[in-house]
Structure 1
């Protein structure tokens, strides 16, 4: 397919919200097309196709949400639903007539046959094969049914599925553009279903046919699809349709080393958006999850594409790490303008910040990951309802009320001038370092960590500082 345009694709099933695993597949395919655009006179194309043949589980709501997620992340498609393209429709549920033509071709050429085996019969056969130490595959029961036998089964009301007839003693070989040369023995595969008994197309069949008809040049997907590739190559070869190149990425594991799921770190993109993660942070994290970049700085989507290469995709599974996602979120926050930062957090804090917006942004921008963090700090610092954690209370108790009395006096004298207050306390109590700063921070913020006190003091102001010290005194038992 070298004479055709460079085209990657993402073909999700709209049966739920989009999570990290399928998002990374979409992102890598976008970057693959962008990389081609960056290094070739001919632009790469990213195609979106909706795999909604499972009518019982597919929902339009999820289709709309996954497209919204992709657009929010900047992963726009040049061909597909609500975009240009002449090879649609791009919903597989609308391509029934297309598939029927190719089913009939396979039947006419005796490369497929009707199978009347029930689910119970197939389950029993599978169990027997496993018990005998054999790989489970269809035994070919219906391969050689006579016309009379087929008519008898139809008369009983049995609804058949259509199976692809695997050629005997054939080896399927292809060059995986991520993992290298692969080969499979056709005899190990077994005749597989290409049309279900309910009339819907199987994933194996419709994806192979659509990739070819839509002139997809590169199919990059998870390695859980690796064993599908020889089957799809057999289908395309039988139909005399051109095949794309295939590349298979290692899967993402959770923090516990098991396949990524909701239990070990996976979150929906909708959830990440609602929490306040930036698209650029998600893109920078996921683009490095299993792919090596020389640049460790925050990159735009186009810059990520410039430096992306399938050759840099690792062979080992990548492990999801929330700390790394949060690292890129911090990088995105620091790269944002003060105006963008305020727009990001203002819905949660504007009512308590008042006219100190600039001071507030300067104080908390380097000290948060999500808007909820900023809200917690705003409540802690700018309201009369602070909560002291146990460690802060411990430091307050050790310091005793003498330090707080001196702190009140210093604030009365110096206002919110942090440096002047620290100097007075150090001289009056003959203490410095942690012995001074930990109880001071604990008294004012209720925490032993957080934004710089030199910024917090003017943000709070003299009156609020005095009130806070008075409340802190009440926290000391005895």
Structure 2
């Protein structure tokens, strides 16, 4: 049995990888991880990362989605060396503009009788599949149109039937290749039916345009989802028939949600633009995704260069990788802590807007930096510290009532710095530990957690702190809720 194998690339050759999305929606986490892995592999060895737009689905593809995904990739730092807005020697990078390229290869295959027109309707194909399943066979094309004469083909055209074009899969052969994640792979061509490479409207099918463009653009490594694994033997057969060089493949594990099902909007997937709007930092997103299905020796926050340096195809796992938003939030905390001071200040300025008095900016940022994760946290602390203490809920009111009006009156009368306040309250009430500090925190912020109390007191200033203590005293003296 004759064997088809993929070409073995020179190990010294710099990798050329690609991300080839279809612009039919916003970029989500699953596709983003594919882009990230391809970008990291190219970056590690000084190769090229190519962005190609697979927009042959004319009805669903939208220019605004192309623009959006370019913005998302740039926000994350995943710049491409060839593709939209950059161009290069392999342009155009949108498949909708590459039809003449595909047409030339269709002609080559038809001239060699390696492809043929198929006039089967979708209903006829479905009936054939049902029949095969009923007979206990795997459904594949039955070859109905594989040997039509020229006259039979013309007769069908005369009836107004527009054919697809099918690739003639050779029989009695084996396709083998070594997947960088899943090891040696073997497929018998007798189990692969002749497949469509051109739709009835003349546009290329995925199997065809994806494989041809990988070869023509010199792609050396294709990292893609494991759902594409069974596509690979078809594409290797196509490239062999066209005399084109094939890349090597790594089929990465899928990402699942908390319920173990493939990640989707229902179980946690979010568009990259949604993460950006929510205030996630790009460093947090890439550090989390780089560890979904890939292991690193270093569990610290890494730059893109650091992530690239530690990226290894041998560290890609086969088991599904579970997306956990709590882990993404962990990396958000790490990324915020690592921000340079000036970038942190700008991030907080943008989040606070007009809520933050210019003359209190430095003190505010120093006070709350370790207690914010997202822009909404910054604006909330602005409202608390430069506005009014929130109305107490039942738990807060219980603490205030337990402390009693005299507790807060002593704090208000103390004057001076934080040490003077706590000393006066201790002397007046004998309160210690949590019984001392929790009522004071609730009086100043209305919350049972937050920045260090001396910092809050210093930021508020003596007059504002005294006002809040007196307000707490009044609340503590109020009649308990019935």
1:76 CA displacement: 0.8
Q: TM-score, normalised by structure 2?
A: 0.93
User: For the residues of structure 2 that align with 1:339 and 1:77, how far apart are their CA atoms?
Assistant: 27
Q: 1:170 deviation in Å?
A: 1.7
User: In the alignment, which residue of structure 2 is the partner of 1:41?
Assistant: none
Q: Report the equivalent of 2:449.
A: 449
Name structure 1 gaps, 5 residues minimum.
38-43
Question: What do residues 364-383 of structure 1 show as CA deviations (whole Å, max 9, x unaligned)?
Answer: 11111111111112112220
Q: Which residue of 2 aligns with 1:40?
A: none
Q: Does 1:429 align with 2:436?
A: no
Question: Are 2:173 and 1:170 equivalent residues in the alignment?
Answer: yes
Q: Secondary structure of the equivalent of 1:356?
A: helix
What is the match of residue 261 of structure 2?
A: 258
Structure 1 position 309, deviation (Å) = 0.6
Change beyond 3 A, Cα 1:130–1:387: farther
Judge conservation of contact 1:277–1:329 (CA < 8 Å) in 2: yes
Quick check: 1:87–1:213 contact (8 Å CA) kept in 2? yes
Give 1:132 shift. 4.0
Give the one of 10, 15, 20 matched to 2:24.
15
Greater mean alpha carbon deviation, residues 387-396 or residues 372-381: 387-396
Deviations 1:168-221 (A, max 9, x none): 122111000122111112222211111011111011100100101111000111
Q: Name 1:440's counterpart in structure 2.
A: 440
In the aligned structure 2, how far is the partner of 1:391 from the partner of 1:190? 68
Residues in 2 aligned to 1:373 and 1:133: alpha-carbon distance in whole angstroms: 59
Q: Does 1:288 align with 2:291?
A: yes
Which stretch has the larger CA shift, 393-402 or 163-172?
Answer: 393-402
User: Which one of 403, 406, 409 corresponds to residue 405 of structure 1?
Assistant: 409
Q: Which residue of 2 aligns with 1:378?
A: 382
Q: Which moved more, 1:139-148 or 1:364-373?
A: 139-148
1:203/1:343 CA distance change after superposition, 3 Å? same
1:25 aligns with 2:34: yes
Is the counterpart of residue 248 in structure 1 residue 251 in structure 2?
A: yes
1:330-375 deviations in Å (ceiling 9; x for gaps): 1121122332222112134243331111111111111111111111
1:62 aligns with 2:65: yes
Between the aligned partners of 2:135 and 2:471, the Cα distance in structure 1 is 75
Q: 2:271, 2:183 → 1: CA distance? A: 32
Change (3 A) 1:101 1:456: same
Structure-2 residue corresponding to 1:467: 467
Query: Conserved in 1, the CA contact under 8 Å of 2:110 and 2:116?
Result: yes
Query: Which runs of 5 or more structure 2 residues have no equivalent in the other structure?
Result: 1-7
Secondary structure, counterpart of 1:198 in structure 2 = coil
> In structure 2, what is the Cα distance between the partners aligned to 1:9 and 1:89?
14
Following superposition of structure 1 onto structure 2, how do residues 81-96 of structure 1 map, counting pairs within 5 Å?
81-96=84-99
1:468 is displaced (CA, Å) by: 2.2
Tell me the distance in 2 between the aligned counterparts of 1:55 and 1:366. Answer: 49
Instruction: Please list the CA deviations of residues 430-478 of structure 1 after superposition, one character each: whole Å capped at 9, or x if unmatched.
Output: 1211222222212221111111112111111122222323333454451
Which residue matches 1:2? 9
Instruction: Find the counterpart in structure 2 of residue 143 from structure 1.
Output: 146
Secondary structure of 1:47's aligned partner: strand
Q: Residue 4 of structure 2 aligns with which residue? A: none
Aligned residue for 1:205, secondary structure, equals helix
Q: CA separation of 1:468/1:133 partners in 2, compared to 1, >3 Å: closer, same or farther?
A: farther
Alignment check: 8 A CA contact 1:208 1:236 kept: yes
Q: Quote the Cα distance in structure 2 between the aligned partners of 1:266 and 1:230.
A: 30
> Deviation digits for residues 32-57 of structure 1, max 9, x if unmatched?
012223xxxxxx11111111111111
Within the candidate set 302, 307, 315, 2:310 is matched to 307
| C-alpha displacement of 1:67 | 0.9
Identify if the C-alpha distance between structure 1 residues 239 and 463 changes in structure 2 by more than 3 Å, giving closer, same or farther: same
1:394 aligns with 2:401: no
TM-superposed CA distance for 1:261, in Å, is 1.0
Q: What's the counterpart of residue 163 of structure 2?
A: 160
For 1:203 and 1:239, locate their aligned partners in 2 and report how far apart those are by CA, in whole Å: 16
Residue of structure 1 in register with 2:202 after alignment: 199
The one-character-per-residue Cα deviations of 1:219-238 (angstroms, maximum 9, x if unpaired) are 11111111111111111111
Cα pair 1:392 1:443 within 8 Å, conserved: no
Separation (CA, whole Å) in 1 of partners of 2:401 and 2:125:
72
Q: Secondary structure at the match of 2:390?
A: coil
Cα distance, 1:245 vs structure 2: 0.3
User: Aligned with 1:226: secondary structure?
Assistant: helix
Which residue, out of 150, 160, 179, partners 2:182?
179
Change (3 A) 1:422 1:126: farther
Q: 2-side partners of 1:156 and 1:217: how far apart? A: 45
**2:280 aligned with 1:277, yes or no?**
yes
